[in-house]
Structure 1
Amino acid sequence: MSSKPIAHPTLDQLATGRLAASASLTYRPYWWEAAAPRETPPSALPQQTDVVVVGSGFTGLSAALTLLRAGRSVVVLDRDAPGFGASTRNGGQIGSGNQKFRVKRLIELRGRAKAEEMLREGVAMLDYIEGLISTEKIDCYFRRCGRFRGAIRPEHYDAIARDMEDLRNVAGVESFMVPRSEQHHEINTDLFHGGSVLPADASLHPGLYHQGLLHRVEDASGVVQGHSAAIAVDATKDGFTVNTLSGQINCRNVIIATNGYTDGLLPHLTRRIVPVGSGQIATEEIPEQLFSQLMPGGRVYGNTNRVFYYFRAAPAERRILWGGRVSHLAPSDSVAAYRHLARDVLSVFPVLKDIRVSHGWDGLIGYTYDEVPHLGRTRNGVHYALGYCGTGVSRATYFGHKIALQLLGDTEGRTAFDDLVFPSFPAHPIAKRAVPVVETWYRVRDCLSK
Structure 2
Amino acid sequence: MTDSSFHPEFREAPYWWEAAPPEDASAAPLPGNVDVLIIGSGFAGLSAALEAARAGASVAVLDGGPLGGGASSRSGGMVSSGQKLVLTEALKGLPAEKSAAALEDSKATFEFLKELVARENLDADLQLVGRFFGAFAPSHLDTLKRNAETLHRKTGVTIRILSRAEQRQEVGSDYFHGGFVVEDYGGVHPSKLNRALRGAARGAGATLHSHARVQRTERVPGGHIAHTDRGQVRASHILYATNGYTDAASPWLEKRVIPVMSFQIATEPLPEGMLARLIPRLRMVTDSRNELTYLRPSPDGTRLLFGCRPRAIQTTPTKLAPLMRARMLRIFPELEPIRLTHAWGGYVGMTADRLPHVAEQDGVLHAVGCNGNGVALMSFLGWHAAQLMLGRTNRRAFFADIPFPAVPFAPLRRALVPAASAAYHLADFAANPGEVLAERLGRVPDHH
State TM-score, norm by structure 1: 0.92
1:39-66 Cα offsets, whole Å, 9 max, x none, are 2434311111111100010000000000
Unaligned runs of 5+ in 2: 433-448
Closer, same or farther: CA 410–330 of 1 in aligned 2, 3 Å = closer
Unaligned runs of 5+ in 1: 1-5, 15-21
1:440 alignment counterpart: 422
Displaced runs of 4 or more, over 6 A = none
* One-letter identity of the residue aligned with 1:254: I
Counterpart mapping for 1:6-25 below 5 A: 6=1, 9-10=4-5, 25=10
Whether 1:199 aligns to 2:183 is yes
- Using the alignment, how far apart are the partners of 1:107 and 1:331 within structure 2? 33
Whether 1:372 aligns to 2:355 is yes
- Using the alignment, how far apart are the partners of 2:373 and 2:91 within structure 1? 20
SS at match of 1:302: strand
Deviation at 1:24, TM superposition (A): 7.6
1:211-235 Cα offsets, whole Å, 9 max, x none, are 0000111112211000001112111
Aligned pair partner of 2:298 in 310, 314, 338: 314
1:26 alignment counterpart: 11
Deviation at 1:118, TM superposition (A): 1.1
2:323 alignment counterpart: 340
- Using the alignment, how far apart are the partners of 2:223 and 2:310 within structure 1? 40
- Using the alignment, how far apart are the partners of 2:348 and 2:215 within structure 1? 22
2:173 alignment counterpart: 189
Deviation at 1:9, TM superposition (A): 3.6
SS at match of 2:82: coil
> Does the aligned pair in 2 maintain the 1:92–1:203 contact within 8 Å?
yes
SS at match of 2:296: strand
- Using the alignment, how far apart are the partners of 1:144 and 1:414 within structure 2? 29
> Does the aligned pair in 1 maintain the 2:359–2:404 contact within 8 Å?
no
Whether 1:179 aligns to 2:163 is yes
- Using the alignment, how far apart are the partners of 1:74 and 1:120 within structure 2? 30
Whether 1:71 aligns to 2:56 is yes
Closer, same or farther: CA 41–404 of 1 in aligned 2, 3 Å = closer
Closer, same or farther: CA 330–23 of 1 in aligned 2, 3 Å = farther
- Using the alignment, how far apart are the partners of 1:25 and 1:433 within structure 2? 31
Deviation at 1:340, TM superposition (A): 2.3
- Taking only aligned residues, the RMSD between alpha carbons, in angstroms, comes to 1.8
> Does the aligned pair in 1 maintain the 2:50–2:200 contact within 8 Å?
yes
2:388 alignment counterpart: 406
SS at match of 1:149: strand
* One-letter identity of the residue aligned with 2:412: I
1:290-321 Cα offsets, whole Å, 9 max, x none, are 22211002110000011011000001132000
- Using the alignment, how far apart are the partners of 1:130 and 1:232 within structure 2? 35
- Using the alignment, how far apart are the partners of 2:180 and 2:259 within structure 1? 29
- Using the alignment, how far apart are the partners of 2:403 and 2:382 within structure 1? 19
> Does the aligned pair in 2 maintain the 1:148–1:299 contact within 8 Å?
yes
1:17 alignment counterpart: none
Whether 1:88 aligns to 2:73 is yes
State TM-score, norm by structure 2: 0.92
> Does the aligned pair in 2 maintain the 1:257–1:384 contact within 8 Å?
yes
> Does the aligned pair in 1 maintain the 2:276–2:282 contact within 8 Å?
no
Deviation at 1:288, TM superposition (A): 1.2
Deviation at 1:180, TM superposition (A): 1.2
1:424 alignment counterpart: 406
Whether 1:355 aligns to 2:338 is yes
- Using the alignment, how far apart are the partners of 1:132 and 1:393 within structure 2? 12
> Does the aligned pair in 1 maintain the 2:45–2:382 contact within 8 Å?
yes
Deviation at 1:440, TM superposition (A): 2.0
2:231 alignment counterpart: 247
> Does the aligned pair in 1 maintain the 2:312–2:421 contact within 8 Å?
no
> Does the aligned pair in 1 maintain the 2:213–2:228 contact within 8 Å?
yes
Counterpart mapping for 1:119-158 below 5 A: 119-158=103-142
Closer, same or farther: CA 124–331 of 1 in aligned 2, 3 Å = same
> Does the aligned pair in 2 maintain the 1:278–1:326 contact within 8 Å?
no
- Using the alignment, how far apart are the partners of 1:80 and 1:98 within structure 2? 32
1:221 alignment counterpart: 205
* One-letter identity of the residue aligned with 1:174: T
Aligned residue pairs: how many?
A: 432
